[in-house]
Amino acid sequence: MPIAAVFQYEMQSLLKSWLVRLWLVAALLMALIIVMAGWAVLTDAILISVTLATFLVFPWFLVIIVLGVSASTAGRLDSAADGILSRPIKRWEFLTGIWAARVLTVWAVSAAVLVPAVIVIVAGDRPKVAETQPVTLFGMLAALAIILVVLAFLVSVGVLLGTLFKNAWLAMVVLLFVWYPINAILTTFHLAEFSPVSLDQAMPTILQKTWPSRDQESEQESAGPIQAELQRQAEEFIRNLTGTSHREPQSREPEFFRNADRYADVSVVKVIASYGGLTLLLWGATMLVFYFRDL
Amino acid sequence: MDAAIRTEHLTKVFGGVVIAVNDLCLTVPKGAVFGFLGPNGAGKTTTLRLLLGLHRPSAGQAFVLGRPCGIDAADVRAMIGFLPTNPKFPPHLKPFEYLNLVGRLHRIPSDVRIARISSLVRAVGLLPVTDQRIGTLSTGETTRLGIAASLLADPPLLLWDEPTAGLDPAARRFALDLIQELRHDRTVVVATHILADIDRVCDHVGVMFEGRMIFSGTMQDMKRRLRQEGITLELAGSRDALRKATEVLPNRCQVEHRWVSENVLSLTVEEGAGRAKALADVLHVLAEVGVDLQSIQSGHGDTESAYLNLLQEDQSHGFARFQDSPRPTHADRGGVPV
């Protein structure tokens, strides 16, 4: 019951907050502009992926992190200590209620923007655009599942940093200094599943996926020796460090999604499991930090 | 004697440098109205927060109604009604919504909760502001809301931190009257540095200074520590009558007297003499010599004097204060003899 009470209280606070209201309006507006701009020129898969990029990469990524960071900063915990944590509630119950409310709010805003956008893109009477492969139901469900788990992960990153640093601004600065190098390192090692940028590039492929058959699964399992792949990644990392990389510079839009084929073997289950696992890990770390904190 | 609160060498050091609570050993008896007295920064609020599990003790332990306090001791917090000093409650909620949240945290069933909140809102005088957000309430109204929240679950122990801070005289009187009403069926701890409040409502007192408890006992014990128990009389009469009173008093009464001004007489009851009898004798003498009594003041400044004496005594002890602290045993050092 205390978790439910805190969850409800937090949801109430978030729905009344100007940040969430403005975010919803701005996200709807941006989605509308993107859909209108790509209406006659982009394929379904690319147009959906561009819309998703606003949440996974920029700019809503920052709003999501801010929502997470502000959950447990010092100023906020002052009022929580006086009003809530001095009552019969355990710390894990409080933090779980707060975290769940923030994740659900982010999901709700994203769904409120993305679901109508996807429906309009897929079902709308658009001019024929050359399409190699159509968007599938499985692809859309898989993309939705990935988006939900990545958003939960981003909120968890924010909550952990807010708890760790108490000061919201400091937490944000640290995040920016840590997050972007991590993205670069993950990209170097071809761990596409761990990088939201790469993930968004893989979205057109994911959206066109069909229900996996047994043959496909066994094919994936026996793919390439792991040792050789690791060696290749290490060599590439060293080339990057020494400035002798032979990779061509990555281009952004409109070529952002041009090489989506290289993500053909991306595993939806692996992505969800990785982000899900990391989210649980972050949640645990946040609990630990919060448990040892004086209020 | 059952203890509502017991602490054993409770210590809190912030960041490894600031000693907020220093080896605190305290017992608050059940059913007492305990005045937790001390200057600003003495460690009163930190002690209350340690009891609530909002802070983690650096050493020692605390018990509330026999149960150990701690970060996750929700069962202990369920027995405590806490009123923080200058409370900061969720500013966007309305009083009823906040009290409903507190009731849910206390797992009070909905039907009981709503009825109880309604009656409490009325009892603390918040009916006119129920449609306002907490952020717009005055200090007095926020304190009243905090009082209502602390009483919502009908806990056996109330911890009120500076309940009269920033209140106007009417609100202050309300808070003190309420403490006197509540004293009948629960333990109340009032942390404050306002001596008049302690004097008015408390039957036990603990004096904290620089993180240490330098006195703990009944109010009578504390006042008895005064070397001089003063009574001040404001008199009206002719010069002759007053002079005659001065001559007669030393012979017939067990008091020492001193003229504070032309018509204000300060009396000090001699060691071992009863205050009531000594005062009766003095009044009898004054009546005989034709001096009228305008006013009498006794005990108003007693707590203040006793309190200041305690602080001075503690400071004068210097290094001797260290002797009272616990000594490590062989077992503490892993059994190695030294």
In a domain, B36, yes or no: yes
Helices (H) and strands (E) in chain A, counts: 12, 0
| Six-digit token string for A270 | 């692996």
Q: Would you state the pLDDT for residue A181?
A: 72
Residue B35 bridge partners (DSSP): B190, B205
In whole angstroms, give the CA distance from residue A52 to residue A115.
11
Counting other chains too, the contacts that B283-291 makes at CB distance below 8 Å and 24 or more residues apart are B285/B245, B285/B248, B285/B249, B285/B252, B285/B253, B286/B233, B286/B235, B286/B245, B288/B248, B289/B237, B289/B241, B289/B244, B289/B245, B289/B248, B290/B237, B290/B238, B290/B241, B291/B235, B291/B236, B291/B237, B291/B241, B291/B242, B291/B245
In a domain, B306, yes or no: no
| Six-digit token string for B316 | 């004068």
Cα A45 off chain centre by: 18
Nearest-5° Cα angle at A34, A29 to A35: 100
B84 plus B211 within the same structural domain: yes
Q: Would you state the pLDDT for residue A212?
A: 65
Cβ atoms < 10 Å from Cβ of A227: 8
In a domain, B58, yes or no: yes
In a domain, B329, yes or no: no
B76 plus B204 within the same structural domain: yes
Q: Which domain holds residue B257?
A: 228-298
In a domain, B51, yes or no: yes
**B101 vs A5: CB contact, 8 Å cut-off?**
yes
Radius of gyration in angstroms for the set of CA atoms belonging to chain A, rounded to a whole number: 21
B178 plus B153 within the same structural domain: yes
Cβ atoms < 10 Å from Cβ of A77: 22
In whole angstroms, give the CA distance from residue B117 to residue B113.
6
**B101 vs A86: CB contact, 8 Å cut-off?**
no
Residues A234, A236, A241, A247: what is their CA dihedral angle, to the nearest 10 degrees? -170
Percentage of chain A beyond pLDDT 90 is 20
Residue A131 or A214, more confident: A131
Query: Cα–Cα distances in Å, from A287 out to A6, A103, A207, A225, A246?
Result: 16, 16, 35, 38, 44
B22 plus B152 within the same structural domain: yes
B120 plus B160 within the same structural domain: yes
**B236 reaches A (C-beta below 8 A):** no
Instruction: Map tokens 């000090």 to a residue.
Output: B268
Among B51, B75, B86, B104, most A C-beta atoms within 10 A, so best to mutate, is: B104
Order of all β-strands in the sheet with B18-29: B18-29, B3-14, B59-64, B67-68
Q: The CATH number of the domain where B285 resides is what? A: 3.30.70.100
Q: Which of A61-65, A92-96, B122-126, B321-325 has the lowest mean pLDDT?
A: B321-325
In whole angstroms, give the CA distance from residue B121 to residue B137.
14
Is A198:A211 a contact under the CB 8 Å cutoff?
A: no
Among B46, B55, B65, B71, most A C-beta atoms within 10 A, so best to mutate, is: B71
B213 plus B250 within the same structural domain: no
Largest CA distance in chain A: 62
B151 plus B270 within the same structural domain: no
Q: The CATH number of the domain where B99 resides is what? A: 3.40.50.300
Q: Where are the alpha helices (DSSP H) in A189-267?
A: 196-207, 214-221, 226-242
> Which residues of chain B make contact with A84, given a CB cutoff of 8 A?
90, 101, 105
For residue A108, pLDDT over 90 is answered with: yes
Average pLDDT for A16-21: 90
B180 plus B271 within the same structural domain: no
> Which residues of chain A make contact with B95, given a CB cutoff of 8 A?
none
| pTM, entire model | 0.75
Q: Tell me: the pLDDT tens digits for B262-308?
A: 888 888 777 777 778 888 888 888 888 888 888 887 654 566 667 77
Average pLDDT for A108-129: 85
Nearest-5° Cα angle at B71, A171 to A98: 45
Most confident listed range (A57-66, A175-184, B2-11): B2-11
**B78 vs A88: CB contact, 8 Å cut-off?**
yes
B51 plus B150 within the same structural domain: yes
B54 plus B100 within the same structural domain: yes
Any residues with CB less than 8 A from the CB of B316 and at least 6 apart, and which?
none
B143 plus B287 within the same structural domain: no
For residue B337, pLDDT over 50 is answered with: no
Among A20, A87, A288, A292, most B C-beta atoms within 10 A, so best to mutate, is: A87
Is B169:B2 a contact under the CB 8 Å cutoff?
A: no
Q: Tell me: the pLDDT tens digits for B108-166?
A: 998 899 999 998 898 888 889 989 999 999 888 899 999 999 999 889 999 999 888 77
In a domain, B325, yes or no: no
Order of all β-strands in the sheet with B255-259: B255-259, B264-269, B230-236, B292-298
Count of domains observed in chain B = 2
Q: Would you state the pLDDT for residue B28?
A: 92
